[in-house]
Amino acid sequence: MNINIYYGGRGLIDDPTLFVINKMQEVLEELRVNVNRYNLYENKGAITTLPQTLKEADGIVLATTVEWYGIGGYMQQFLDACWLFGDKDKISGIYMCPVVMSTTYGEREGKLNLATAWEILGGRPCSGLCGYIENTVLLEMNEQYLRIIEKKAENLYRTISQRMDSFPASNQAVKQKIAVPKSNDLTPQETEQLSQYVSDDSYVQRQKQDIQELASQFRDMLNEEGTDSEEEYVSAFRRRFKPQAGFEANYSITIEEKKKKFILCVSGPELECYYGSLEQPDVEVQMKRSTMEEIVSGRMSFQRAFMSGEMKTRGDFKILRTLDQLFPFEN
């Protein structure tokens, strides 16, 4: 029989949970059980890979200490890893004994949380052990407490060896209906490999850098293909240009999605149309790319865009009104 003990405390000398699991391990080994101990605080960089250690286990002990609130971060990370990377078929046959000692309030809630989490994972929770221990010395010197710990270890051994069954739990039924994790279509072996990658910080950082580089490349490609092309709209304005005799004006149009401003310089029958900058234009216009698309396609005029608030302007409004006469896209 193989039993794994996962300790989620901080490893402090006066931690009462350490005394309890040491005593349980001693009793189990006397019963010829192969006991493997995993201190999560020592394996915090590889917690995501620990669900692989459940493969050969017939039962486990989840032990943690409530120091101020809840079961602690290490134990929560381990349970998260079991949910994301654990072999649910294997977990479904594993008995779990929760052990929660507290130096403050909340040991009963912690024990219940561990049992509920294991049930949601599909495993089989056993009767656990919890208590408030103000001083570890009192625990060590009390014969009644020692007997309780020994009996709990013996009960765990008996439950596993006899493969005792239990009534179905409601949270299992709820899980099957609404809490089913998204399928990743990976085999248990592939999931284990994924957990190893996740635990490798250097690999994760490389992947993040690669994603950023790819995103940058695609963004540059999109800019080159149109969103920031320096030819976009130029031919449309030149094609629609209708000169006004003796009229001269300079327009600077800021399109939010573009890096450079769209410049229109009108001098009688001549038109300069380009992307760049212009000092002291007669009219400055600001709009979104979608608004410019509406205007160029003839579905909206410059005047209507200004009146609806989709185009902001600054400068001589008389010159602004001539835009629709110079570039009659609606015709």
Higher pLDDT: 87 or 213? It is 87
Where does the pLDDT of residue 193 fall: very low under 50, low under 70, confident under 90, or very high at 90 and above? low
Where does the pLDDT of residue 4 fall: very low under 50, low under 70, confident under 90, or very high at 90 and above? very high
> What's the token pair of residue 132?
């408030």
Percentage of the chain lying above the pLDDT 90 cut? 51
Same domain, yes or no, for 40 and 171? yes
Q: Let me know if residue 186 belongs to a domain.
A: no
Q: Let me know if residue 117 belongs to a domain.
A: yes
* 295 closest CA partner among 253, 245, 257: 253
Tens of pLDDT, residue by residue over 25-53, are 999 999 999 999 999 999 888 899 999 99
Model pLDDT, residue 25: 94
Residues 78 and 116 sit within 8 Å (Cβ to Cβ): no
Q: Say how far residue 169 (Cα) sits from the centre of its chain.
A: 29
Residues 65 and 34 sit within 8 Å (Cβ to Cβ): no
Model-level pTM? 0.60
Q: What is the CATH number of the domain that holds 275?
A: 3.30.1050.10
Tens of pLDDT, residue by residue over 241-288, are 999 888 999 999 999 888 889 999 999 999 999 999 888 899 999 999
Model pLDDT, residue 221: 60
What mean pLDDT value characterizes the chain?
Answer: 86
Model pLDDT, residue 211: 81
Tens of pLDDT, residue by residue over 133-171, are 988 888 888 999 999 999 999 999 999 999 988 777 776
Same domain, yes or no, for 16 and 128? yes
Residue with tokens 């391990």: 25
The parent domain of residue 244 ranges over 234-326
Same domain, yes or no, for 104 and 19? yes
Same domain, yes or no, for 177 and 250? no
Model pLDDT, residue 202: 72
- State the average pLDDT over residues 111-136: 91
Out of 228-232, 295-299, 300-304, least confident range: 228-232
Residues 97 and 126 sit within 8 Å (Cβ to Cβ): yes
Higher pLDDT: 196 or 12? It is 12
Rounded distance, CA 144 to CA 82, Å? 35
Which of 152, 181, 210 lies at the terminal end of a domain, its last residue?
181
* 94 closest CA partner among 169, 2, 179: 2
- State the average pLDDT over residues 173-194: 60
Q: What are the DSSP E strand ranges found in the chain?
A: 2-7, 34-39, 59-66, 95-102, 124-125, 129-132, 248-255, 261-267, 270-276, 283-287, 311-315
* 281 closest CA partner among 309, 307, 253, 251: 251
Model pLDDT, residue 156: 94
> What's the token pair of residue 15?
């931690």
Q: Let me know if residue 164 belongs to a domain.
A: yes
Point out which residues pair with 97 in neighbouring strands: 61
Out of 75-79, 91-95, 199-203, least confident range: 199-203
Q: In the predicted model, is pLDDT for residue 173 greater than 80?
A: no
Q: In the predicted model, is pLDDT for residue 79 greater than 60?
A: yes
Same domain, yes or no, for 155 and 32? yes
Q: In the predicted model, is pLDDT for residue 176 greater than 90?
A: no
Same domain, yes or no, for 169 and 254? no
